[in-house]
C-alpha cells in the first residue's frame, strides 16, 4: 500500500477526530502566552515560559504537561515582530491544511510534535523550533516558487529560504556528536516521513536536467 492510499484510508477511518483550523488555535495560544509573559506575569515575578518549556528532568519528576505546553511557546520575537511571526506561522499552516485537508495536516503536525518530544528525551531539552521549521519546509516543498518578502521588501522564492535552512540543518548534523545527529534526524522526522519520496524525486530530476544541459552544451 503506497503512502497516499494509506493516508486516505486513515482519513476515512479517523478523519472525524481531526481538529479543523488547528494552526489558528496554536497561534492564539502562542499569542496569549506572549501577552501574559510580557505584560502580566513579570509583575508577579513568574515566567510562564519556564513553566511550559519541555525539560526531560522536570518531566520525569511529574511535570508531564511540559510534553504538550511547549507547543504553545511563541517564537523569541520583539513586540514589533511577534505579530508578523505569528501571522506567518498561521499563513503557512493554513496553506498546508488547505492543500492536504485537516486530517493530514493534523497528522503531520502531531507527528512533528512527537518527534520533538523524542528529541527532548535524547538531549534533555527541546523547543518547538524544529516543529515550526518543519511547517515552513513542507510549505516550501509544496509551494517552492511562492515569493516571500525578505526584510519586508525583497521578494525571494520560498525554495531558496528552505535550501538555506536545509544547509544549516546539514551543518549542525555534521558538527554534532552521535546523539546530536540522531536528535536532528528525529526532529525532522515528519518531513522525512511525508516528503522523502518527493525529495528523492526532486534530486533525481535536478540531476537529470543538469546532465541533459551538459550533454546539450557538449
Check residue 211 and give its pLDDT. 74
Owner of C-alpha cell 485537508: 101
15-58 tens-digit pLDDT: 888 899 999 999 999 999 999 998 888 778 888 888 999 999 99
pLDDT band at 146 (very low <50, low <70, confident <90, very high): confident
Q: By mean pLDDT, which of 43-52, 153-162, 183-192, 207-216 is the weakest? A: 207-216
What is residue 110's predicted lDDT score, i.e. its pLDDT? 92
pLDDT one-digit tens code per residue, 88-107: 999 999 999 999 999 999 99
Q: What is the pTM of this model?
A: 0.83
Going by C-alpha positions, the residue among 75, 26, 68, 27 that lies closest to residue 51 is: 68
What DSSP string runs through 28-66?
A: HHHHHHHHIIIIIGGGGT--HHHHHSEEHHHHHTT-TTH
113 has pLDDT over 80: yes
8 A C-beta contact, residue 161 and residue 136: yes
Amino acid at each position: 500500500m503506497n503512502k497516499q492510499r494509506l493516508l486516505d484510508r486513515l482519513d476515512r477511518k479517523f478523519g472525524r477526530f481531526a481538529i479543523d483550523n488547528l494552526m489558528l488555535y496554536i497561534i492564539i495560544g502562542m499569542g496569549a502566552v506572549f501577552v501574559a509573559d510580557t505584560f502580566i506575569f513579570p509583575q508577579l515575578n513568574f515566567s510562564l515560559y519556564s513553566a511550559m518549556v519541555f525539560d526531560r528532568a522536570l518531566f520525569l519528576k511529574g511535570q508531564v504537561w511540559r510534553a504538550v505546553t511547549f507547543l504553545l511557546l511563541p517564537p523569541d520575537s520583539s513586540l514589533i515582530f511577534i505579530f508578523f511571526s505569528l501571522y506567518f506561522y498561521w499563513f503557512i499552516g493554513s496553506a498546508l491544511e488547505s492543500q492536504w485537508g485537516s486530517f493530514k495536516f493534523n497528522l503531520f503536525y502531531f507527528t512533528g510534535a512527537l518527534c520533538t518530544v523524542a528529541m527532548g528525551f535524547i538531549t534533555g531539552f527541546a523547543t518547538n523550533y524544529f516543529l515550526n521549521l518543519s511547517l515552513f519546509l513542507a510549505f516550501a516543498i509544496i509551494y517552492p516558487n511562492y515569493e516571500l518578502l525578505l526584510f519586508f521588501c525583497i521578494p525571494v522564492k520560498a525554495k531558496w529560504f528552505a535550501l538555506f535552512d536545509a544547509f544549516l540543518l546539514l551543518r549542525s548534523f555534521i558538527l554534532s556528536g552521535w546523539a546530536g545527529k540522531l536528535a536532528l534526524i528525529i526532529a525532522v522526522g515528519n518531513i522525512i516521513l511525508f516528503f522523502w519520496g518527493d525529495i528523492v524525486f526532486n534530486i533525481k530530476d535536478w540531476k537529470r536536467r543538469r546532465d541533459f544541459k551538459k550533454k546539450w552544451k557538449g
